Structure 1
């Protein structure tokens, strides 16, 4: 008699195979949904695409697919959307951030009253605002969200914006400069040397 490998003795529950088939069907439905979303929502009805019944069983909300989207990053938006997003950002910065968190500007803590003309400031403040929207809602983040927002988002954002090398470095009280960090000429290593 040959040596048999040590195989643990256990019985597979009867319902396990049925459960596995359900998991496989749900996975196939979710994979098809992800593929559809990657293609921009244009469904071709291919062989790997799940039916609407499979999506419903997998917990997919077919009629809500196009309604919910990730918040846009402001610098990637075109003109009308950018203007709307900037308007909302200005309301938050001027209504919440400035009165609640910004003291009088100083040499160590700069601030520009025309912050919305500095693209770096707009990008950082927009990211901070998106995080604030998510982390101040107890339904989505619990009660520790505001603490996480202060530690992980607000404090680093203000340190970068108000620091001596931040976007407001050239702005002093009463004077506003946008292009103060742009180089005037291209460094010689980047220029072509003409013979």
Structure 2
């Protein structure tokens, strides 16, 4: 071993394609790291790990309005409530009614003025919010629609269309649905004034 120079690296039999694979893996790791940082937000990393680029981005975010999840419709005030209700009506009338509702009957009620029933608005809005999330393969994969049917749409329609549901006071007439809101239920709170 005395005749070999000390600073010469040993000869390795490494395929050339391996270096390309390593560079591809480095690029994928960098891409995934960026995605994780975006998804976890500014507090996602450990303390002291923020780079100058990240600090600059945080400063820019304060200038822009931060995106928020849509709030539950019953918590909104006009005009936000009106805008959300209009969008909900478009979805219910354009997707839910033609795709999922058959002819109304005593066992499967429906009111063509469903937006006049606060309980129906609340349930349908919740189903719509879940539909928006669970029909996007980027956020939930390909099983999202199945989860939406099982966990959201089916139970909500069972409750809405039941004889004891919010449409229980709505009757079907000849060739039209007549709308009749149920009267106020007597309360123990109002009897104290007598």
Q: The TM-score by the shorter chain falls in which range?
A: 0.5 to 0.7
* Counterpart-to-counterpart distance in 2, 1:99 and 1:129: 15
How far 1:62 sits from its partner (Å)? 5.5
* Counterpart-to-counterpart distance in 2, 1:61 and 1:147: 41
Moved over 4 A (4+): 52-55, 59-62
How far 1:60 sits from its partner (Å)? 6.1
For 1:113, the equivalent position in structure 2 comes to 112
Tell me whether 1:139 sits opposite 2:111 in the alignment: no
Q: Secondary structure at the match of 1:30?
A: coil
Asked whether the 8 Å contact 1:30–1:55 carries over to 2, the reply is: no
Q: How many residues align?
A: 143
Q: Where does structure 1 lack aligned partners over 5 or more consecutive residues? A: 1-28, 32-49
* Counterpart-to-counterpart distance in 1, 2:164 and 2:183: 9
Q: Secondary structure at the match of 2:178?
A: coil
* Counterpart-to-counterpart distance in 1, 2:97 and 2:123: 15
Query: Normalization by structure 1: what TM-score?
Result: 0.65
Q: Where does structure 2 lack aligned partners over 5 or more consecutive residues? A: 1-41
Asked whether the 8 Å contact 1:132–1:149 carries over to 2, the reply is: yes
* Counterpart-to-counterpart distance in 2, 1:159 and 1:61: 48
Computing the radius of gyration over CA atoms, which structure comes out larger, 1 or 2? 2
CA RMSD of aligned residues (A): 2.9
For 2:96, the equivalent position in structure 1 comes to 97
Asked whether the 8 Å contact 1:108–1:162 carries over to 2, the reply is: yes
Query: Normalization by structure 2: what TM-score?
Result: 0.65
* Counterpart-to-counterpart distance in 2, 1:93 and 1:61: 40
